[in-house]
């Protein structure tokens, strides 16, 4: 029973901290405000997380730990490279759709010059880009795909997946006349759109240079 209560309290704290950090950023958030949001006293909050910095890192880990290793693990299975890329894009968009605070959270912190800290937390959560690099280089060597810079490719994938969520308020208003249902449908179709764009960009065609 004690273990269950502890897990529930920690989850309540992390959910409350997520809400406050998204609204106020790490600099503007206050431990008292987070404690109030979680419905606990400040002393108990400090018992679990001794500093705002440690709580900030925990929020990221809480958000990433459920999917980051599995997401990158897609590139370790036996599927062909095009299936792997499609699976990665579909999974990544689904994850952002369920956790739309993540990209906005990252941008807010980067704008406050906390990029180094945020990057370290993401890398430590299991987001291992080396797996992607290894797979792309292997497929280039086999002649399966074009000669591409894996760094450009991963940035293209991430940007195409993330921007519709970051830019939703503007895109929804300008392109969809502020129709929320239409935009939700657009996000659902985004998975196939991005997958096709990326795969077409690296697929070898007759007469193309490797």
Q: Give the CA distances from residue 173 to residues 99, 102, 161, 176, in Å, rounded to whole numbers and listed in that order.
A: 21, 22, 19, 6
Q: Name, in order, each residue with C-beta under 8 angstroms of 76's C-beta and a sequence gap of 6 or more.
A: 131
Tell me the per-residue pLDDT of 77-114, one tens digit each, with 9 for 90 and over: 889 999 999 999 999 898 888 777 777 777 776 776 66
- More confident of the two residues 194 and 64: 194
Domain 65-202 falls under CATH 1.10.357: yes
Has residue 181 got a pLDDT over 90?
yes
CATH number of the domain at 2-58, out of 1.10.10.60, 3.30.450.20, 3.40.640.10, 2.40.50.140? 1.10.10.60
Mean pLDDT of 187-191: 94
Two domains, one topology: 2-58 and 65-202: no
In the chain, the percentage of residues whose pLDDT exceeds 90 is 50
Q: Residue 197 has what pLDDT? A: 97
Q: Residue 3 has what pLDDT? A: 47
- For the chain, the domains span 2-58, 65-202
């Amino acid at each position: 029973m004690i273990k269950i209560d502890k897990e529930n309290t920690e989850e309540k704290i992390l959910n409350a901290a997520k809400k406050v950090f998204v609204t106020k950023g790490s600099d503007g958030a206050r431990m008292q405000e987070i404690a109030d949001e979680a419905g606990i006293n400040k002393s108990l909050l400090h018992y679990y997380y001794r500093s705002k910095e440690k709580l900030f890192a925990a929020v990221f880990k809480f958000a990433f730990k459920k999917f980051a290793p599995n997401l990158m693990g897609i590139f370790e299975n036996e599927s062909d490279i095009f299936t792997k890329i499609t699976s990665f894009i579909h999974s990544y968009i689904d994850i952002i759709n369920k956790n739309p605070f993540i990209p906005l959270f990252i941008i807010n912190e980067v704008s406050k010059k906390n990029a180094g800290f945020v990057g370290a937390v993401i890398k430590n959560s299991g987001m291992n880009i080396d797996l992607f690099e290894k797979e792309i280089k292997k497929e280039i060597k086999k002649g399966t795909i074009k000669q591409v810079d894996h760094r450009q490719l991963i940035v293209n994938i991430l940007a195409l997946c993330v921007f519709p969520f970051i830019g939703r308020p503007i895109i929804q208003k300008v392109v969809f006349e502020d129709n929320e249902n239409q935009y939700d449908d657009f996000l659902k179709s985004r998975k196939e759109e991005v997958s096709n764009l990326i795969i077409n960009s690296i697929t070898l065609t007759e007469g193309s240079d490797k």
